[in-house]
Amino acid sequence: MARKHVSRKRRRPRKARVRSPEQNHPPPRIERRAETDTDLPAPEVVLQREPDFGIVGVGASAGGLEAFQELLSHLPHNLPLAFVLVPHLDPHHASGLVEILGRVTPLKVVEVADGMAAQVGQVAVIPPNATLTIADGILRVTQRRSDRDHYRPIDHFLRSLAEDAGSRAIGVVLSGGMSDGALGVAAIKAAGGVTFVQDPDSAKHDSMPRSAIASGAVDFVLPPAGIARELARIGVHPYVGRDGDDRQRTEAPDEERALQGILRMLRGDGGIDFAQYRQTTLRRRIARRMR
């Protein structure tokens, strides 16, 4: 059987299309994804600077009035330190501490108001029914939450002082019951500061001094008058007072070599490597022991 011839139309040749460079190389595909916290710009990190003077936090409870009076009455008027007193006060009655203590010391005695700055030559006293902290040298007052709370205002303040002032923090625990202050002096010692405790034999109530001593974080155990004399001595020390601002101080080459020698001996004999510790804190601690 003969096949039918089917005619097919010839297709015209297609013209070559000229592609632009952009078409030959299309831009990369951009994938969109949900925005997360990691996409946000990182917050600016602000390095906290230690104050250029020592700040002394002093805590007391039962028997503290007499201890405060003895301490302040033996302080010189020109001591380059700021003082913050944190006694256990009756939350329902006004305190007469400012007037009483103002009679025994040449230093200015004031009650703390929220936002007040710690100042050299000033004794700031916590108000009743309050909790006190310090940040960037500014005292912050908040209301005590409840009478039934486990109230530890001395620990609360000294811990914040350690965080804020670092090696320029000085903690003092005087007469009182229970154990408030023990954790605070431990925090100050860990930050490179100096800690004092009233000699229990000179305290009307020795529970607080003995608890602080048991923490193992106390540098000096003295009666209040002895604490005042030691504060007067270290208050003008170049690593505590204003004249020893380590941001402006340059170390002599011999001193630097001596420090490195001490660190090598500690590493070799004791197996403790202090190389990563803050150098200014190490220098302060060594200088205080040598003076």
Cα–Cα distances in angstroms (integers) from residue 174 to residues 1, 81, 82, 161, in the given order:
127, 18, 17, 17
Closest CA to 97 of 69, 55, 131: 69
SS3 state at 235: coil
Residue with tokens 């990190």: 45
Cα–Cα distances in angstroms (integers) from residue 107 to residues 80, 123, 254, in the given order:
11, 7, 40
The secondary structure of residue 117, as a DSSP letter, is B
Catalytic positions, written as ranges: 61, 88, 180
Question: What is the C-alpha separation between 38 and 72, in angstroms, rounded?
Answer: 53
SS3 state at 169: strand
User: How would you classify the pairing of strands 138-143 and 130-135?
Assistant: antiparallel
Q: What angle do CA 141, 145, 147 make, to 5 degrees?
A: 120
The crossing angle, in degrees rounded to 10, of helices 253-265 and 279-290 is 90
Residue with tokens 């996409």: 39
